[in-house]
Amino acid sequence: MSNPITSPTAAGTVPAVLDGQAVYDTVPLGAVLRYFDGTPQPPARFTRKLHVWRSRNGTGRLVEKSLPSTIGNSTYPAGFTLDQGSYGSNGVTVLTVRTIYQVTTAQRFEVIEWPQPGMVRVLHRRNGRDELKYLAPDMAAAEAWMQRNRYSNLVTKIVGAAELSANLGRAA
C-alpha cells in the first residue's frame, strides 16, 4: 500500500500493513492505528453503505491487550482494544467508543503515530491486565491527570527509546 512506516527513534521499520497478530506482538500501548478492510469508500450519496464502510475503516489508539482466555467450553484468542474517541459536553464524557479485535481478525492495520520516548503512560491495572487511561507528554502532566481522575491501581510507565526500537526490530 504505502512505504514502510519508520520511527525517527529507531533504525528498524515496521511493514506498512499489519495483521491482528502483528499488532498484538509489536505495537506498544499508546500507538494510533488506522484500521481498514481494503474496500473502496462508497460515494457520499450512499449513506447506508458509507456508514457501514466507516464502521470498518477508521483510526483508534491502542489502549489494551488481552491474553487468550477460556470461558466455559469456549476458547478465545488474544486480542487488543482500540479507543476511537469519547463524546460529551462541558467536560462530561457521555460515550466512549472502543472496538475489541481478536488477533485472528480480517481487518488490516497501519501505525500512524508512535508514542514518543519520554511520554508517560498512565495505566489502570486490573485482573492482571493494563489499560491505557492517558498518554501524557511528561511526568508532571501524568501526575496532574491522576489527581483529577481518581482510579484505583494507577501506575505510570515512561516510554523508552529502547522499547520502541525493540518493537520495531521484531516487526521488521
Q: What is the pLDDT of residues 40-88, one digit of tens each?
A: 999 999 999 999 999 999 999 999 999 998 889 999 999 999 999 989 8
Give me the mean pLDDT over the 114-120 stretch.
Answer: 95
* Cα separation, 151 vs 142, whole angstroms: 13
* Cα separation, 140 vs 66, whole angstroms: 29
pLDDT score recorded for residue 19: 95
Q: What is the pLDDT of residues 9-36, one digit of tens each?
A: 343 455 589 999 999 999 999 999 999 9
Would the pLDDT of 119 be above 60? Answer: yes
Half-sphere exposure of 158 (CA within 13 A, CB side): 8
pLDDT score recorded for residue 163: 74
pLDDT score recorded for residue 162: 77
**108 versus 151: which is more confidently predicted?**
108
What pTM does this model have?
0.83
* Cα separation, 150 vs 118, whole angstroms: 23
Would the pLDDT of 90 be above 90? Answer: no
